Amino acid sequence: MSEIQRLRELMARLRAPDGCPWDQEQTHQSIARCLVEEAAEVLEAIDTEDTELLREELGDLLLQVVFHSQIEEEAGRFDLEDVAREISEKLVRRHPHVFGDPGDKEEDADAVIDRWERIKAEEKKAKGVSETNQKFKNLPPQLPSTLFANEVYKQANKLGLEKEGEWDDSKINEMGSGLNEAQAGRALFEWVAACRSGGIDPESALRKFASSQVRILEEKYKPKP
């Protein structure tokens, strides 16, 4: 028996009528926070470069995937095999330069990402998901604001709109020249502390500004009638 199968069977046993009372009463909603917490602990292990801790925390994160899949299996909708099958098929579809024609190679990582997005759009179209004029891809609302802002600026740059936002792009380039991780960490920390001192929620402030830039740039990108 593989260890993955053993884990599935252990989870099913915990959820069984004669299993663990706590595990039995859990729902997707009740354990959603555990998923976030375990992912955060994986990131901590990565940041500290603690290999043993990373192995442990990846196991805790894997348990969340198995737990959610077990709940769905009990409802008769899908199971862990379906989850694994779907992501495997997606990886094959979106990497034709690896799993398709040997001569169909991409030159660099940026080209791979562009193709990934094109194939993703084709998949949505095939599923009947209507396309809109929206150019900025939808981002999960739970995404931390720093990651959200990073994605917004990256997409603006990709669309050639980095100079169209309500920010000083020349100042950004100047600040980024020679910037190292320690300097960036200190500057970000000081800004967060300054927000706290001024009674401002830095998470909300950054998210609101980044979201406003998406709306502004979408309007600027929109073709003229």
Q: Which has the higher per-residue pLDDT, 84 or 131?
A: 84
Q: What is the pLDDT of residue 127?
A: 80
Percent of the chain with pLDDT over 70: 94
Instruction: Measure CA 185 to chain center.
Output: 22
Q: What is the pLDDT of residue 217?
A: 86
Q: Which residue has the tokens 């940041």?
A: 47
One-letter identity of residue 111: A
Q: What is the pLDDT of residue 24?
A: 97
- Answer whether residue 225 shows pLDDT above 90: no
Q: What is the pLDDT of residues 137-185, one digit of tens each?
A: 777 777 889 999 998 998 888 888 888 889 998 899 999 999 999 999 9
For the chain, what percentages of helix, strand and coil (3-state, to nearest 5) are there?
Answer: 70, 0, 30
The structure tokens listed for 215 are 């709306």
Q: What is the mean pLDDT of the chain?
A: 89
Q: What is the pLDDT of residue 219?
A: 82
Q: What is the pLDDT of residues 87-137, one digit of tens each?
A: 999 999 999 888 887 777 777 887 888 888 788 878 878 887 655 555 677
Q: What is the pTM of this model?
A: 0.70
Rounded to a whole number of angstroms, the distance between the first and last alpha carbons of the chain is 63
The CB density around residue 147, as the number of other CB atoms within 10 Å, is: 12
Cβ–Cβ under 8 Å, residues 162 and 153: yes
Q: What is the pLDDT of residue 224?
A: 59
Q: What is the pLDDT of residue 131?
A: 52
3-state secondary structure of 129: coil
- Answer whether residue 86 shows pLDDT above 80: yes
